[in-house]
């Protein structure tokens, strides 16, 4: 788009005009300024859906390259990554665990805090290796159990009928009766 060599820039007479009576640097600056409102509008979120769609398309198109770039950065800078993680943990502490649990079980943070305040298993009373027990069908939290009791319930497929049958079996065996 350069103009003839006789023309000069309006702002800088010593420079040759590149386009529209402006030198190359003035033209580039004017071009950027003319488009900046659109860029700022997207950045401010006025057209959030369009921005999200563009970002998503870009990520899908370049996913492998982006993942590889992140992996390479993490491998090249383990000390920086470790320091960032340490600072994040110092800043947010237990909130990280609470936030993750609340998101996983789809409950409020207050409910998670109330569950975490239970310090012993609700079946055997043990206070070691506690976990949150939930119904796999509905996702509802039932309480805190030790790892062994939670595993045992899982083996009985959370069925009260199976547990009652197992209890009857154990009581008969303890009484010395023959099982049929």
pLDDT at 97: 86
Strands (E), the chain: 130-134, 141-146
**Tokens at residue 155, please?**
């083996």
CB 131 within 8 A of CB 150: yes
Q: Which residue has the higher pLDDT, 4 or 127?
A: 127
CA distance 106 to 175: 45
Write the CA distances from 49 to 35, 37, 59, integer angstroms: 20, 18, 15
6, part of any domain: no
135, part of any domain: yes
Residue-wise pLDDT for 72-104, tens only, equals: 999 999 999 999 989 988 888 778 888 889 999
Entry pTM: 0.49
Residue-wise pLDDT for 115-154, tens only, equals: 999 999 999 999 989 999 998 888 889 999 999 999 998 8
99, part of any domain: no
Q: Is 46 helix (H, G, I), strand (E, B) or coil?
A: coil
27, part of any domain: no
User: Domain containing 131: what range?
Assistant: 121-180
152, part of any domain: yes
179, part of any domain: yes
Domain count, the chain: 1
Residue-wise pLDDT for 56-70, tens only, equals: 999 999 999 999 999
77, part of any domain: no
CB 27 within 8 A of CB 20: yes
60, part of any domain: no
Provide the mean pLDDT of the chain: 82
129: CATH:
3.40.1800.10
């Amino acid at each position: 788009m350069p103009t003839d060599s006789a023309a000069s820039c309006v702002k800088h007479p010593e420079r040759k005009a590149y386009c529209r009576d402006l030198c190359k640097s003035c033209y580039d600056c004017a071009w950027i300024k003319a488009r900046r409102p659109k860029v700022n509008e997207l950045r401010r979120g006025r057209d959030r859906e369009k921005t999200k769609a563009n970002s998503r398309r870009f990520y899908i198109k370049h996913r492998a390259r982006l993942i590889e770039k992140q992996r390479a950065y993490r491998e090249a800078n383990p000390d920086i990554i470790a320091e960032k993680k340490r600072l994040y943990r110092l800043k947010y502490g237990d909130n990280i665990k609470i936030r993750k649990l609340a998101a996983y079980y789809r409950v409020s943070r207050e409910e998670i805090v109330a569950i975490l305040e239970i310090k012993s298993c609700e079946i055997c009373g043990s206070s070691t290796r506690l976990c949150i027990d939930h119904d796999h069908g509905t996702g509802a939290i039932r309480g805190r159990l030790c790892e062994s009791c939670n595993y045992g319930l899982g083996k009985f497929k959370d069925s009260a009928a199976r547990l009652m049958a197992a209890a009857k079996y154990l009581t008969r065996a303890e009484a010395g009766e023959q099982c049929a």
